[in-house]
Amino acid sequence: MATQRLLGLMRTGATDRAIARELDVSLRTLNRRISRLQSLLGAQSRFQLGALAAELEWLEVRKTG
| pTM, full prediction | 0.83
The reported pLDDT for the residue numbered 59 is 80
Per-residue confidence band for 58, with pLDDT thresholds at 50, 70 and 90:
confident
Q: How many CB atoms lie within 10 A of CB 40?
A: 11
pLDDT of residue 60: 72
> For 15-55, how does the pLDDT look when each residue is reduced to its tens digit (9 = 90+)?
999 999 999 999 999 999 999 999 999 999 999 999 999 89
Cα–Cα dist 45/35, whole Å: 9
| Whether residue 1 has pLDDT greater than 60 | no
Q: What angle do CA 19, 4, 50 make, to 5 degrees?
A: 80
For the chain, the maximum distance between any two Cα atoms, rounded to a whole number of angstroms, is 38
Residue 6 identity: L
* Structural domains of the chain ordered from first start: 3-55 (1.10.10)
Distance (Å, whole) CA 48 – CA 27? 21
